[in-house]
A and B are shown apart, each in its own frame.
Chain A
């Protein structure tokens, strides 16, 4: 997207995960070298009283928001910063929606500030802000 096409209040095209995959969590665990059983073993999740579905890794939840920003910026070099707060768990089978809304536009620098929110069934699981540089 170009700078001239955005204004305060512009909504980013959402990034949606229709159903979070337990198989992708296994790949993520290997990449992260993260042995935490709640990502791999439903029985471990039950023992902790967290339900009966494995829990998605936080960096994966963050990456869904980044995917949305990549679509907005059109160029990975456009993403200048991303800050996120982890607010809740995402479980296998959840439908995740990532939303963004422009809150500030600096025409001089070309930098756009975006408010971020990631939800499951409307409940926030991650929130934050990003700064993206857009071309003229």
Chain B
């Protein structure tokens, strides 16, 4: 338990590779009511691809922040940035790290930490294709860890 998790900034994830099969893109589009598939992966699916290829699970990130699923972690913000669309059945390398931890205090929300991590998808040549940044909110009881 800590009052300061800023030491996590710079923590690198194991990384790995990810491929989005065409059938996964088709099912995703069905789930989110999108138009039928083409060559490009639905842009929203880049989030899932980045997380799946990062080598970490949400539970791993909760553990780093000394939080539990029961303590009510929430998604705060998400950014997807594209150099070009992802394509189905193409292997991408994923790398990433924690880029920020900020403690805040709100009248209604109480004390919470905002942890941001960034994941980058690169093609076989090493060129950046897409970046995914996510901010989790970790409620903290009485100013300490959740």
Q: Footprint of B on A, CB under 8 Å?
A: 17, 24, 27-28, 31-32, 36, 58-60, 62-64, 66-67, 69-70, 76-77, 79-86
B3 at the interface (CB under 8 A from A): no
Distance from A3 Cβ to chain B, minimum over Cβ atoms (Å)? 18
B24 CB–A CB distance under 8 Å:
yes
Q: Does B120 contact A (CB under 8 A)?
A: no
Q: Are A77 and B77 within 8 A (Cβ)?
A: no
Binds A, one of B4-12, B33-41, B90-98, B104-112: B33-41
Chain B, interface residues (CB within 8 Å), range: 20 to 34
Contact of B78 among A32, A62, A67, A76 (CB under 8 A): A62
Q: How far is the CA of A27 from the CA of B32 in the complex (A)?
A: 10
Known pairs A31-B24, A31-B27; A59 contacts B82 (CB<8 A): no
Given A59-B47, A62-B44, the answer on whether A27 and B31 have CB atoms closer than 8 Å is yes
The answer to whether the Cβ of B74 comes within 8 Å of any Cβ in the partner chain is yes
Instruction: State which of A28, A36, A62 has its C-beta within 8 Å of the C-beta of B31.
Output: A28
Q: Which residues of B contact A77 (CB under 8 A)?
A: 40, 82, 84-85
Interface majority SS (helix, strand, loop, mixed), chain A: helix
20 inter-chain pairs at a CB distance below 8 angstroms, sorted by A residue, are: A24-B31, A27-B30, A59-B47, A60-B31, A62-B44, A66-B32, A66-B34, A67-B32, A67-B34, A67-B35, A70-B34, A76-B42, A76-B43, A79-B85, A80-B81, A81-B80, A81-B81, A83-B80, A85-B76, A86-B75
**Which residue of B69, B74, B79 is within 8 Å of A81 (Cβ)?**
B79
**A66:B76 contact, CB within 8 angstroms:** no
**Residues of A with C-beta under 8 A to B31:** 24, 27-28, 31, 60
Q: Which residue of B lies closest to A33 (CB)?
A: B52
Residues of A within 8 A of B35 (CB): 67, 70
Q: Which of A17, A59, A84 has the most CB of B within 10 A?
A: A59
